Amino acid sequence: MTSPTAPEPAYAAVPPPGCPAHAGGLARLYGPEHAADPKATFAALRTQGSVAPVEIAPGVEATLVIGYQSALEVLRSPERFSKNPRRWQALADGSVPADSPVVPMMMHRPNALWSDGEEHARYRSAITDTLAQIDPNELRGHVEECADILIDRIGPDGTADLLSDYSAMLPMLVFNRMFGCPADIGDKLVFGMSRIFDAEADAEKANQVLTEGGIELVALKRREPGADVTSWMMAHPARLTDLEMLHQLALLMGAGTEPEQNLICNALLLLLSDDRFAGDLAGGSMPVDEALDEVLWTDPPLANYAVHYAIQDTEVDGVEVPAGRPVLVSFTAANTDPALSGERRAGNRAHLAWSAGPHTCPAKSAARLIAAVAVEKLLDRLPDVELDCEVEQLEWRQGPFHRALTALPVRFPPIAVTVPAATDETSGDTEWNPKPAPSSSTPQDATSTARGPVSAKAAPRRWWRFLAVWRRGR
């Protein structure tokens, strides 16, 4: 066994033959080759078994769990595997620099994701009790409204980037409303988290933007509580401090918006590119449910995460896992483990896209509902939508944690929209629940028959345009 204070790789760091993501050392979970074809990386790693060494950023080593059963073993063994990043030996001793681009996605924060035991239970109860107050019918209605507003903006054009114009904006609009978050603060939270996911050089700066947004939202809701998730969480018996509130909010909005946009986008891509769905797009929710399940099995939005640390030197499937070294679970690789037969996958939801064990996503029903409504609505309003490029031309964002497109260009017969939009839904100033009683002065909800094109279309598009350009490296 290796010493916890001086973790040594307990395996030969020999690249598997033909691995496309190797550069003479450990398999790389980042960079253009891996982003273009992560399944090739996993296929090569499988030659080493269900657990393999990888590099997740320059000079940052980790153990990657790629087998389904081994993944469950790690996720369901909190007595052996801690979530607390303070156990990360290479960060503590400085061999991983504090400004490494993966650090903001892996560093300790006082939140549910990075805590164990009683501390975790306290944060998690505040989160789950708060999320339980969301009415699914109201959530569905609000997703539909937001989707209509966004579709109205692109409808007359006949072309769009379904990532920046739709999939990225929809969760943000919904979340601003859910959290009672003004648009400018929401932008900071979502933009900050999005850049952190990319794990590039500006991740530390993005982390500051995220923190700033969280501080502003907490201060606002302490002053002016409303009927929203932020205020409900503040009132929870766990009595979270401002610092704890800030970190649960950043977790919720970050964990919520970035994976959500990628679930929507990846499902749209599958529906638009796979012949099995051709001709069936406007045929109801069935193909949408199937597409969501398939994406959650084969291309989950969080591809590799669930960072754990062995509490003591241990082993998984015969491979030594030293204490102090990050252990990541590849949800993608575990879900596509050849040991799982096709029959075992079909028609069941035992995939690990939401993780498993004590840290399993507490919002999976809401997250799935948002994605399903978003996709259904788009296909309902734009039934003849099609890809505006070859699938091979699409690019994927780099970074070890997510499976995320840089853009999803589409074309469709333009649709006419006739009534100007009356509200700025991006404000999030409206309360989540209840809605004001309708009156002659109440702005009309945007629906598929009453929506606003020109004014809405002309409205300034803020960071998401900027972000799309940034992602494409222009």
Note the residues at the interface with ligand HEM (CB under 6 A). 112-113, 124, 127, 251-252, 255-256, 259-260, 263, 301-302, 305-306, 353-355, 359, 361-363, 366-367, 371
Minimum CB separation of residue 226 from ligand HEM in Å reads 17
Q: Which residue has the tokens 């995320």?
A: 404
Distance between CA atoms of 262 and 253, rounded to whole angstroms?
14
Minimum CB separation of residue 356 from ligand HEM in Å reads 9
Q: Partners of 315 in the beta sheet?
A: 320
Evaluate the omega torsion of the peptide bond into residue 15 and state whether it is cis, within 30 degrees of 0.
no
Nearer to ligand HEM, 146 or 252 (CB): 252
Nearer to ligand HEM, 302 or 319 (CB): 302
Distance between CA atoms of 65 and 195, rounded to whole angstroms?
25
Distance between CA atoms of 446 and 444, rounded to whole angstroms?
6
Nearer to ligand HEM, 251 or 421 (CB): 251
In contact, 230 and 179? CB cutoff 8 Å:
yes
CB atoms within 10 A of CB 77: 16
- What is the residue type of 156? P
Nearer to ligand HEM, 127 or 379 (CB): 127
Nearer to ligand HEM, 101 or 256 (CB): 256
Minimum CB separation of residue 408 from ligand HEM in Å reads 16
Nearer to ligand HEM, 197 or 305 (CB): 305
Q: Which residue has the tokens 């999939």?
A: 167
Q: Which residue has the tokens 């629940």?
A: 433
- What is the residue type of 111? N
DSSP 209-251: HHHHHHHHHHHHHHHS--SSHHHHHHTSTT---HHHHHHHHHH
Smallest Cα–Cα separation from 74: which of 321, 350, 268? Answer: 321
Nearer to ligand HEM, 54 or 127 (CB): 127
Nearer to ligand HEM, 44 or 367 (CB): 367
Nearer to ligand HEM, 359 or 381 (CB): 359
In contact, 321 and 315? CB cutoff 8 Å:
yes
Minimum CB separation of residue 439 from ligand HEM in Å reads 32
Minimum CB separation of residue 319 from ligand HEM in Å reads 21
CA distances from 378 to 140, 160, 410, 459 (A): 14, 12, 12, 20
Minimum CB separation of residue 297 from ligand HEM in Å reads 12
Nearer to ligand HEM, 197 or 412 (CB): 197
Minimum CB separation of residue 422 from ligand HEM in Å reads 28
Per the structure block, which two tokens stand in for 39?
């399944």
Task: Please report how many Cα atoms fall inside a 13 Å half-sphere around the Cα of residue 128, on the Cβ side.
Answer: 13
Minimum CB separation of residue 176 from ligand HEM in Å reads 12
- What is the residue type of 238? A
Distance between CA atoms of 377 and 114, rounded to whole angstroms?
36
Minimum CB separation of residue 358 from ligand HEM in Å reads 6
Minimum CB separation of residue 271 from ligand HEM in Å reads 16
Cβ contacts of 175 within 8 Å, gap of 6 or more: 181, 186, 190, 253, 256, 257, 428
Distance between CA atoms of 419 and 398, rounded to whole angstroms?
41
